[in-house]
């Protein structure tokens, strides 16, 4: 049977999605182990508007329909041969259905086309689900930032692509 997520596709996140993305993030980041603070709609718009920023969204509709409800999204920036994954979130009730994987793989595919060599990210040391998610996609721990998230350290993770 074809899973819905195999039919789902991403679309470019725009300022029009900022309110929905901020609401999704506020809900998705309630677990204190995540460490990071959810972004406001204004911060999301600023990130998308920055020279090197971009975002991807995904919905559950089976088609890349920007008007349907968001299942998840990511924000990133790319500068020369390096890129940074700034944020990724999938709705609580949509997790473990492959949406995060599709978002990440779509971003990596896009970055490969732009000759990006490495992707970096920061993740709270206690955010074990996200660390496993990144490791399964080939990211490796390359450093640590003490007390980056208040009392929590951040791991720096890197993927060579």
In the complex, which residues of this chain contact ligand COA (CB under 6 A)?
28-29, 34, 36, 88-90, 95-101, 123, 127, 129-130, 132-133, 136
Name the burial class of residue 146, with classes exposed (0-12), middle (13-18) and buried (19+) by CB atoms within 10 angstroms of its CB: exposed
Q: How far is the CB of 1 from ligand COA (least distance, A)?
A: 16
Q: For residues 32 and 115, which CB has a smaller minimum distance to ligand COA in the complex? A: 32
Q: For residues 63 and 132, which CB has a smaller minimum distance to ligand COA in the complex? A: 132
Q: For residues 2 and 51, which CB has a smaller minimum distance to ligand COA in the complex? A: 2
Rounded distance between C-alpha atoms, residue 52 and residue 84, angstroms: 10
| Strand (E) or helix (H) holding 74 | strand 70-79
Residue closest to ligand COA, measured at CB: 100
Is there a contact between 9 and 61 (Cβ–Cβ < 8 Å)? no
First to last CA, the chain: 32
Q: How far is the CB of 100 from ligand COA (least distance, A)?
A: 3
Rounded distance between C-alpha atoms, residue 98 and residue 60, angstroms: 11
Q: How far is the CB of 132 from ligand COA (least distance, A)?
A: 4
């Amino acid at each position: 049977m074809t899973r819905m997520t195999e039919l789902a596709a991403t679309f470019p996140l725009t300022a029009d999605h900022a309110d929905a993305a901020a609401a999704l993030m506020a809900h998705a980041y309630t677990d204190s182990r995540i460490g990071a603070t959810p972004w406001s709609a204004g911060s999301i718009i600023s990130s998308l508007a920055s020279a090197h920023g971009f975002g991807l969204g995904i919905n559950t509709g089976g088609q890349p329909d920007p008007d349907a409800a968001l299942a998840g999204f990511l924000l990133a920036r790319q500068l020369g041969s390096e890129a940074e994954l700034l944020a990724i979130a999938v709705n609580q009730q949509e997790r473990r259905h492959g949406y995060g994987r599709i978002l990440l793989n779509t971003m990596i595919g896009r970055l490969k086309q732009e000759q990006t060599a490495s992707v970096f990210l920061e993740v709270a040391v206690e955010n074990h689900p996200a660390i496993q998610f990144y490791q399964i996609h080939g990211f490796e721990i390359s450093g640590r930032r003490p007390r980056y998230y208040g009392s929590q350290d951040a791991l720096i993770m890197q993927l060579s692509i």
